[in-house]
């Protein structure tokens, strides 16, 4: 399965490029967590933060390697190297910003089953 990741370019108010790459790479270059960068990206795209200009400059396609330990119906993040080391008891999902194909199909199936179970 092919996964597409967006490539960003972050400029300051003077137009100087201060970060370039995926969400994780840009966050590292700016000295923040990927979640904080994602929040900043959302605010910049919505016009709530004018300190930075964040642009999507490309898309990187990577080939997803199928996991050998993932079982259908179980969240694949439990066996993913990027997943949490200790899985909280009631946590349904804990995917990183680079959603793998396994996580996306699990998520569609999970919500599909919930809608089917609770539809009126």
Q: Please, is 9 exposed, middle or buried when counting C-beta atoms within 10 Å of its C-beta (0-12, 13-18, 19+)?
A: middle
Under the banding of pLDDT at 50, 70 and 90, the label for residue 76 is confident
pLDDT at 93 over 80: no
Question: Pick from 26, 43, 62: which residue ends a domain?
Answer: 62
Top-ranked range on mean pLDDT: pick from 50-54, 82-86, 93-97: 50-54
pLDDT at 32 over 70: yes
- Whether 51 and 6 map to the same domain: the answer is yes
pLDDT at 22 over 70: yes
Under the banding of pLDDT at 50, 70 and 90, the label for residue 1 is low
- Whether 8 and 55 map to the same domain: the answer is yes
Domains identified in the chain, total number: 2
Q: Which residues contact 24 (CB under 8 A, 6 or more apart)?
A: 34, 97, 98
pTM of the predicted model as reported, rounded to 2 decimal places: 0.54
- Whether 53 and 69 map to the same domain: the answer is no
pLDDT at 95 over 70: no
- Write phi, then psi, for 22 (nearest 5 degrees): -75, 180
Task: DSSP for 54-117, please give it.
Answer: EEEEEEEEEEPPPPSS--TTS-GGGTSTTS-SS--TT------SS--HHHHHHHHHHHHHHHHH
- Whether 49 and 72 map to the same domain: the answer is no
Determine the pLDDT at residue 115: 86
Determine the structural domain holding residue 21 and report its residue range. Answer: 2-62
- Whether 55 and 82 map to the same domain: the answer is no
Q: What percent of the chain has pLDDT over 90?
A: 38
């Amino acid at each position: 399965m092919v996964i597409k990741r967006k490539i960003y370019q972050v400029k300051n108010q003077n137009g100087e490029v201060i970060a370039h790459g995926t969400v994780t790479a840009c966050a590292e270059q700016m000295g923040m967590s990927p979640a904080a960068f994602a929040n900043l990206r959302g605010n910049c795209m919505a016009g709530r933060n004018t300190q930075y200009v964040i642009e999507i400059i490309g898309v990187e396609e990577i080939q997803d390697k199928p996991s050998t330990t993932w079982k259908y119906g179980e969240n694949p993040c439990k066996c993913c190297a990027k997943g949490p080391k200790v899985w909280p008891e009631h946590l349904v999902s804990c995917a990183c910003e680079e959603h793998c194909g396994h996580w996306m199909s699990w998520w569609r199936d999970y919500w599909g089953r919930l809608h089917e179970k609770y539809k009126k």
